[in-house]
Amino acid sequence: MGLLDFARNIGTKLFGNEEEAPEKITQHIEDNNPGVSDLKVEVKDGVATLSGQADSAEAREKAILMTGNTEGIESVVDNISAPESTEEVSYYEVQSGDSLWKIAEKTLGNGADYEKIFEANREVIIDPDKIFPGQKLRIPAAA
């Protein structure tokens, strides 16, 4: 996945200053358990570098999104080892006025498929009614 860019001034507020960011981001990922072990997080000037071992490509992607969708992080460097993905996944940046239903209509062709987007991002968005502009989400391939 490499380096992903995010909006630094939006997202889930996990830390007050950059010194506490690695511990708070690590705790956030581990508490929501996307399947990454030996996780190490470094943060410098809004750039988070992640390393560790993921059980799957999906787990790696979720850890990256959980980190990048955090206020104070503007990009994520991915050094997480993971098996190759067999699933086609794209990414979507939430726009003002979006809901999961609207995103599903735009990306999957059917608003009723919003649950697929929620399931693909369960650790990232926790509550389907609480998404925010600038947040990045995984979009599974249309079935």
CATH number of the structural domain spanning residue 122: 3.10.350.10
Interatomic CA distance for residues 104 and 9, integer angstroms: 26
Interatomic CA distance for residues 26 and 59, integer angstroms: 14
Cβ–Cβ contacts within 10 Å for residue 79, how many?
12
**In a shared domain, residues 7 and 66:** yes
For the domain that residue 75 is a member of, what is the CATH number?
A: 3.30.70
**In a shared domain, residues 65 and 126:** no
pLDDT of residue 91: 93
pTM: 0.90
Output the average pLDDT for the chain.
Answer: 92
**In a shared domain, residues 7 and 73:** yes
**In a shared domain, residues 14 and 68:** yes
- pLDDT band per the 50, 70, 90 thresholds, residue 84: confident
Interatomic CA distance for residues 140 and 143, integer angstroms: 8
User: Which residues, including other chains, have CB under 8 Å from residue 74's CB and lie 6 or more apart?
Assistant: 5, 6, 7, 8, 46, 47
Tens-digit pLDDT profile for residues 110-133: 999 999 999 999 999 988 899 999
pLDDT mean over 38-56: 97
**In a shared domain, residues 77 and 95:** no
**In a shared domain, residues 71 and 31:** yes
75 close to 65: Cβ distance less than 8 angstroms: no
**In a shared domain, residues 75 and 96:** no
Q: Domain of 64? A: 3-81
**In a shared domain, residues 76 and 95:** no
Domain count, the chain: 2
**In a shared domain, residues 109 and 49:** no
Q: Write down which residue in 33, 59, 81 finishes a domain.
A: 81
pLDDT of residue 19: 96
Q: Is the pLDDT reported for residue 3 higher than 90? A: no
**In a shared domain, residues 133 and 108:** yes
Q: Please, is 57 exposed, middle or buried when counting C-beta atoms within 10 Å of its C-beta (0-12, 13-18, 19+)?
A: middle
**In a shared domain, residues 76 and 124:** no
**In a shared domain, residues 38 and 73:** yes
